[in-house]
């Protein structure tokens, strides 16, 4: 297997457009570290930065035919990270505006139906994120959080070890916390344990 390390960024970009998986791997290895530092500094959250880069490289492979082979690959990737970081901030902004407006309604003791509509929207958002979990993780998570089964009961039902069940639940909670943002995640936990 030949080494792709000597290739220039533009050569790798060209090979990427030709569906070359090794070129993609080299791009990933070459840029991941720097992009991770860049993203985690901006986001102040390493897990969120990891998720962002995972999505970025997944998107890069899916849209490989659209990469300009003679363009500046480094600038392209940094711009993509910057745009995704801005998207995360925009998402958080929308979320905090939503929470703020919800609080205003509660403070004003506004019509109960409006609050219920908002709560339904939040529940829908949470359900969508749970549905997006990997199948086995989703199954374990639903048995744990919605059916209130113990790790031991889930392990017996699904033929898994208790440690696997515990790990799956932990991972699911971490994914949900990252995707939903802290406020919605806490609201979800409060609902689950009431």
pTM of the model: 0.48
Q: Which of the four pLDDT bands, split at 50, 70 and 90, describes residue 38? A: confident
* pLDDT score of 183 more than 90: no
What is 111-192's CATH topology? Answer: Arc Repressor Mutant, subunit A (1.10.10)
Query: Average pLDDT of 54-61?
Result: 90
In the chain, CATH 1.10.1740.10 covers: 9-88
Q: Which of the four pLDDT bands, split at 50, 70 and 90, describes residue 190? A: low
Which pLDDT belongs to residue 45?
83
Which pLDDT belongs to residue 65?
86
* pLDDT score of 89 more than 80: no
- Tens of pLDDT, residue by residue over 134-146, are 888 889 888 887 7
Residue range 9-88, CATH number: 1.10.1740.10
**Structure tokens of 145?**
């959080």
- Tens of pLDDT, residue by residue over 95-116, are 666 566 556 655 555 455 555 5
In the chain, CATH 1.10.10.10 covers: 111-192
* Residue count of the chain: 194
Which pLDDT belongs to residue 193?
46
Report whether 30 contacts 15 (CB < 8 A).
no
């Amino acid at each position: 297997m030949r080494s792709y390390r000597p290739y220039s960024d533009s050569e790798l970009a060209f090979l990427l457009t030709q569906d070359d998986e090794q070129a993609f791997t080299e791009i990933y290895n070459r840029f991941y570290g720097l992009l991770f530092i860049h993203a985690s500094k901006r986001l102040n959250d390493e897990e969120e930065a990891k998720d962002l880069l995972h999505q970025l490289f997944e998107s890069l492979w899916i849209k490989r035919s659209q990469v300009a082979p003679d363009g500046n690959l480094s600038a392209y990737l940094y711009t993509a990270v910057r745009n995704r970081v801005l998207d995360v901030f925009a998402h958080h902004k929308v979320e905090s505006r939503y929470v703020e407006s919800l609080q205003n309604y509660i403070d004003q003791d506004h019509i109960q139906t409006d609050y219920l509509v908002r709560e339904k929207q939040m529940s829908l958002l949470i359900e969508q994120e749970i549905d997006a979990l990997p199948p086995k993780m989703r199954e374990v998570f639903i048995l744990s959080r919605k059916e209130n089964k113990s790790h031991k009961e889930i392990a017996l039902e699904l033929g898994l070890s208790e440690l696997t069940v515990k790990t799956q639940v932990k991972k699911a909670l971490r994914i949900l916390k990252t995707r939903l943002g802290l406020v919605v995640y806490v609201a979800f936990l409060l609902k689950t344990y009431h």
